[in-house]
Structures are given as structure tokens and as C-alpha cells.
Structure 1
């Protein structure tokens, strides 16, 4: 079996550095230049124009990391929800400008939720209801625009809760994302399952994976091979999926991309 082609999450300056590497195999690419509130609320069109020029000749799968700073997608305050809806729609504006077909959003589930869902009546249902109240309009727009919103685990300990949230939209425009380092943190610190279990729980709804190594204690975003994630188990679980999700290295230090690809290549896991 041919190992999967691995992509990366890059800011604009990093894209200039790794442009040839991305285009060489038309790797999956996630733009991380448009999630900050000052960018979304300002004039981001020149940045989009710069990216479009850099991506001349690119035919791979393009996405962006959507907004997340300072909010959650399941607020019970309607005025807060209005702000979140505005930011998500601004993210969809960016998708339209650069031709992106995927946008990453952060999961609403917390470690506190995990321990209290069965302590508070209707707590699970309220997360779903409030998320729908926030995102329903954006989901319809994403459907029309050909964009998939992928919900990434952050503190999630029980990955099936997030799957049920995604399934509740009954839309091809809402699917799952896994961040390997976040899952490893939940496993090592909060007693969640190992990373490959997250892949199995997502199954056919998995559309996007952030690949980063970590130690199970913090959100390290280390180069692949530096931490303690069991990568062979993760890639065995990915290989069983009928459709290949976008596999995106999300490293804090982008200089670790060559070493990460080197590790994955030597282990026969990716290219």
C-alpha cells in the first residue's frame, strides 16, 4: 500500500518557504493566516491576493483554519452567538476568496463537561442545541459554497460526543477533525483514549487530521517523532478508512517539517 501524502498548515511567510514542496505532490494545505479577529475584522484581501499568487498552479485540497480566539461555538448567550456567527461567516468569505473547500472550527466540549454531563440534566442536549443556534446559517452557506466545516477536538475526552454533534447536523458540510496532540493530551492527562481510538470513533466522518507530536501533558506541536504518540497505531487506523482525510502537519516550528517527513518516510507511514 502506498503511504499517504502528507500536507501542512502554514502561514503566508511559511508558504513562501515551502511552496515548492507543497506543489511537488499537490499536498493538502491549510492556511493559517486568517483566524485572528484583527485580521478577519480588517482588510485581509491583500493577504488573500498574495496567497492566490503563491498558489498559482496548485490543484491540491486547500483549507483554512477558521476563527476560534475568545469564544466557543456553543454559547448560550444569543449576543455572543451573533459575534461567533459573524466570525464564522468572515471565515467563509476568506474561503471564497482563496478557493478553500474546508474550514477548521474548534470543538465545544471541555474536560469539565466530561465529568458533569451526567450530573446536569439535559447538559448534552444543550451543547447540541446551542451549537445549532450558532452555526445553522453558516452550515447552509457552507453547503451552498462547497465548503466543509470540520470540528476539531480540543479538550474532548469522549470522542463519540463530538461525533454525535456532527451527525446531528445531517449535512455533508459538517464533518470531524482530529488533532493528534490534543487527543494525546486528553489521553495522558485526563484519562481519555489513545489517539488511534479517536480515529476509529470518527470513522467515515473524519475529513481532516492535524498531525503533531506531544508528550501527553501539553499541546506541544512538536515535529513527528519527537514525542510519545504511537504513530504506527494511528496510521493503521487511518489506513482502514474508505476515504483519506486531509493529513496536515501542524507544527509550532515549521523548520521541523523536513525531519517529520523524514521520520514518516523511514517508518513507511507517509511521504
Structure 2
């Protein structure tokens, strides 16, 4: 089994994206940002699908050294948890970032505070969540030495990000709760179709099986989704 992220159709209204993806799989990960931002569970309950939700990330920072921004970011993700609880969805969260190198340690403490709050909120709502590794400057969780995360937070492996950072083999050795799969050439986060870049997907899919998780295809465009499905089918 595999899931498909609405990232592939992020320029379309969410219902149109869900209808197209539902033709390919019954498991959809909603990219809860932009025109796919969800304020209630209603649009998801209209379809007979299994869901996970990628919490809003473009305008939030759970590691912000500005406390009002950190608190607001946590509230946004808690709202996402509430919707996830209604549709029995796991949630993926970005780890946040620091704006200046000198702020790293303070931001790290803020990140830890946010995880404590989010873990309590997830437990209250009976929702599972996982934090995604990044490949962008100043973000936390770029390498495996930042694991395990505190307060019971899960880990979501993004294989494209790990490949860019040159540490995908090491990430494949740690416990994984969720996984995003897409391809690139190791230099840019292109979210290309699986098989079009330089990632060793035989190793990735072996780890998927070992961890008993369902891969989520997170590529740019529906044609890339279709070719990615063909590329991973021999491993399923």
C-alpha cells in the first residue's frame, strides 16, 4: 500500500485534488497549507479515504525565539491535531528554525518546549504525530544525531531531504514512524518522480518494510505520482 500527498496538486482546490488522487489510492496525505488549508474536518469526511495530515509549515515556527510566534505556531498545530482526531489521521510537523546562528541554543530550547506542548496535546486527542527531517539552512533535525526526539514525538523521514544532506543511509538505520518518498539528484529539493534521481529506493523500500509503515509519495505533479507508483510497485 502507498499514500499520495496532495502536494502533487497543490494549485487545485482541495476537493479536486482529492478526487484525482482517490483514483490512484485510498490513502491521502493532505498538505495543510495554501489552498489545501483545512479549517474543519468536513471536506475530508466527504470522501471514503484514509488520511494523514502535513500540518501547516509555511507560516509557523515552533522553534521561534519570539515567544508569541512560538505560542501561536503551537496553537495552529494543535488545531490541526483536533481535525486529525476527527478523521483518525496521523500528523507530520516541521521542526522549526532559528534566524541567526547565535540564536541556535535558545531556539533549541524553544523547540523542546513546543514538543512538550504538542505531545501533551496529541495525547489528549489520541493523535500520533511525527517530526520531519529537513534540508534547509537553519532548520533543526537535519541529521540523525538529533534523534531521538523528546517527549515521545515520532520521527517522519523525508528521503529527499536526507539525500540532499548526504545522510540517508544513516537515517534508514533509526526507528521511523512515517515516511515521505520522492527523488532528487542530491543537490536540490525538487520532489521529482521516484526513479528519476539518484536515491537508492531498494534500500528505502526495504526499510519501509522493516518498519511496517506505509510510504507517502510526495512529488510535484500527478504524472510524477503515476510514474512513482510504477517505480515502487515491485517493492510492495
Alignment match of 2:110 (pick from 102, 124, 130) = 130
Post-superposition shift, 1:38?
9.8
Work out whether 1:72 is the aligned partner of 2:72. Answer: no
- RMSD over aligned CA atoms reads 2.7
Alignment match of 1:181 (pick from 160, 163, 170) = 160
Alignment of 1:112-191 (within 5 A): 126-155=106-135, 156-161=141-146, 163-164=147-148, 166=149, 168-169=150-151, 171=152, 174-187=153-166
Provide closer, same or farther for how the CA distance between residues 36 and 17 of structure 1 changes in structure 2, counting only shifts above 3 A: closer
Alignment match of 1:51 (pick from 34, 40, 44) = 44
Alignment of 1:242-261 (within 5 A): 244-261=212-229
Identify the structure with the greater helix proportion. Answer: 1
Matching residue of 1:82: 71
Provide closer, same or farther for how the CA distance between residues 70 and 257 of structure 1 changes in structure 2, counting only shifts above 3 A: same
Structure number with bigger Rg: 1
Q: Could you say what secondary structure the match of 1:54 adopts?
A: coil
Matching residue of 2:186: 216
| Paired residues of 1:31 and 1:65 also in contact (CA < 8 A) | yes
Post-superposition shift, 1:36?
4.1
Post-superposition shift, 1:153?
0.8
Equivalent residue pairs, number = 224
Post-superposition shift, 1:229?
0.6
| Paired residues of 1:207 and 1:246 also in contact (CA < 8 A) | no
Q: Could you say what secondary structure the match of 2:92 adopts?
A: strand
Matching residue of 1:102: 90
Question: Which runs of 5 or more residues in structure 2 are unaligned?
Answer: 7-13, 136-140
- Distance in 1 (CA, whole Å) between partners of 2:117 and 2:161 is 28
- Distance in 1 (CA, whole Å) between partners of 2:23 and 2:201 is 26
Cα shift readout 1:209-246 (whole Å, capped 9, x = no counterpart): 100011111111111111111111222333333xx123
Question: Which runs of 5 or more residues in structure 1 are unaligned?
Answer: 188-192
